[in-house]
Homo-oligomer: A and B are copies of this chain.
Amino acid sequence: MTGNVLVGQSGGPTAVINSSLAGVFKTAKDLGAGKVYGMLYGIQGLLDEKYIDLGEKLHSELEIELLKRTPSSYLGSCRYKLPDYDSQPEIYETLFNTFNKLNIQYFFYIGGNDSMDTIKKLSDYGTAHQSEIRFIGVPKTIDNDLEITDHTPGYGSAAKFIGATTKEIIRDSLVYDQKNVTIIEIMGRNVGWLTGAAALSEGVDCGGPDLIYLPETDFSMEDFLERTARLQAHKKSLVIAISEGIHLKDGRYVCELTEDRKYVDGFGHTMLNGAANILAQRAAREIGCKTRAIELNTLQRCASHMASLVDIKEAFLAGAAGVRAADEGKSGEMIILKRTSGDSKACKSIYECSTDTFDIHKIANMEKKVPLEWIDLTNNKVTKDFVDYARPLIGDELSPIMVEGLPRHIEYVI
C-alpha cells in the first residue's frame, strides 16, 4: 500500500466494532500504508475536521488486544445520512478536499445500512471525478440486517449476551412458588434476529423462553393474552421474549398503545415507553399475576465482557479483508462473510467462514429480515433452523483482560 488510510465508525456501537478497527489498522500497517487516520464521530465529525492519527494512539500489541476487547466505538460515531450529491455538492467537495489534504488513498467505513449508503455515494462521486481513492465498507450491526453477507459482525456477541442473560433470567424467575410472567424486551425494531437469539438459551439445563415475538409478523394483544393464560395453567413461571418493534396488524407499535405513558422530551419528540412494560401491565391486569418487564437496553450491544470469540475474530477479519481488497484495487464494495461450512448437516458442529467482497450498490439501504419459514407461528417460537444458524456465531470466548476485578478497556480518545 502507498499513501494514507482513513477509517471511521458509524451507526450504533457493538461489542466488537473496535475489533474491525483493529483489523483495518493492523493490516494497513502490515501492508506498508503511511498514516492511518481515524475520523472522530464518523463522517459527520470529519466534516468538522475531527480526526486523529491512529498510529499515535496504538503503540503496542497490548493496545490492539485492549482495543479488540473494548465495547462501543473507539473513534465515536454518528447517525448521519450523507445527502445526495445533487442536493448538496459542497459536502462532497469539502470531504474530498480533506481526503486530498491528508493524502488519503484508502477509505474504510465500519457500519450498517446507512454507512454502506455513504460508501456507495462517495465511491460513485469518486468514480465520476476520476479519484483514485478506494472506498470499502466493513459491515457492522448487532441487528444482523445487512443483505448478502451470511451474518454481520456484532450480531454474534449481542446474541451471546442475550442467550446467556435469558438463561439467567429464566432461572431467576423460577425461584418463587407463585405465578409470574417476565417479559424481556430485545433490540431490533424491524428485524427479529436478536429476539430470536433468546431461543439459544434452551437446552438440558434451561427450558428457554415460553413465547418469542419477532417484528416480522403482526402482533395480536388478544392472542398474546390468551396464549399466556393458557400456558400458565400448566406452568407457573413464564418468560416471554419480544422485539422492541412488535406491532399490530394496523401498523401501530405496541409501545405506542397506551396514551398515558407517552411523554415529550425537551425537543418536543414523543418518547415511548417500552413494549415490555405495556405487555407486563396488560398481563398483570387481565391474567392477574405478578409480572416483570426487563429491557436489555444498551447492555446487549456493549457487553463486551460476554463477547463471542467467533464474532471478535470475524470482525477483525472483516476489517483486514477490507484493507486487502482495497490494496488489490477494489472500490465500491462491502466485505461479506460467507459460511463455507454451508449446509453440510452431516457434521453441523463444524463451522467455517471466509470473507469476500460484494458490490455495495446491491447491499446499501436494504434490510434482511428473519425468513418467515424460520418463525414457528404455531408455538410462537423460532425453528431449529434459526437456532442452527445462530448457534455457531456465539461460539467461544475471548477472556477480558481483568484488572482489579473488572475488564480493562483501552483509554478514551473521544
Q: Does A62 sit within 8 A of B, measured CB to CB?
A: no
Determine the chain B residues whose CB is within 8 A of the CB of A220 once the complex forms.
none
Determine the chain B residues whose CB is within 8 A of the CB of A409 once the complex forms.
167, 171, 205-206
Task: Return the contact of A286 from the options B174, B266, B284 (Cβ within 8 A).
Answer: B266
Q: How many copies does the complex hold?
A: 2
Determine the chain B residues whose CB is within 8 A of the CB of A163 once the complex forms.
405-406
Knowing A175-B76, A261-B261, A406-B200, say if A288 contacts B267 (CB, 8 Å).
Answer: yes
Knowing A284-B265, A298-B294, say if A175 contacts B73 (CB, 8 Å).
Answer: yes
With most chain B CB atoms within 10 A of its CB, the pick from A176, A267, A404, A405 is A405
Q: Does A250 sit within 8 A of B, measured CB to CB?
A: no
Interchain CB contact under 8 A, B305 and A164: yes
A411 to B391, CA, bound (A): 21
A321-329, A369-377, A393-401 - interface stretch? A393-401
Interchain CB contact under 8 A, A303 and B177: no
Chain A, interface SS category: mixed
Give, as a whole number of angstroms, the nearest-CB distance from A309 to chain B.
9
Determine the chain B residues whose CB is within 8 A of the CB of A44 once the complex forms.
177
Knowing A271-B281, A405-B160, A405-B395, say if A172 contacts B13 (CB, 8 Å).
Answer: yes
Knowing A165-B299, A299-B168, say if A177 contacts B78 (CB, 8 Å).
Answer: yes
Give, as a whole number of angstroms, the nearest-CB distance from A280 to chain B.
8
Interchain CB contact under 8 A, B281 and A266: no
Q: Which residue of chain B has the shortest Cβ distance to A172 in the bound complex?
A: B302
Q: Which residue of chain B has the shortest Cβ distance to A273 in the bound complex?
A: B277
23 A-B pairs in the complex with CB atoms less than 8 angstroms apart:
A41-B176, A41-B177, A71-B168, A71-B172, A72-B174, A73-B175, A76-B176, A79-B176, A163-B405, A164-B407, A167-B407, A168-B304, A172-B302, A177-B414, A203-B408, A205-B408, A260-B261, A263-B285, A265-B285, A266-B287, A294-B298, A396-B402, A396-B405
A residues apposed to B, CB below 8 Å? 13, 40-41, 44-45, 70-73, 76-79, 160, 163-165, 167-169, 171-177, 200-201, 203-207, 260-261, 263-267, 271, 273, 277, 281, 284-292, 294-295, 297-299, 301-306, 308, 391, 394-397, 399, 402-412, 414
Interface contacts beyond A76-B174, A203-B408, A265-B290: sample of 12 additional A-B pairs, CB < 8 Å, sorted by A: A40-B177, A41-B176, A44-B177, A76-B176, A77-B176, A165-B303, A169-B299, A177-B414, A266-B289, A292-B297, A308-B405, A395-B405
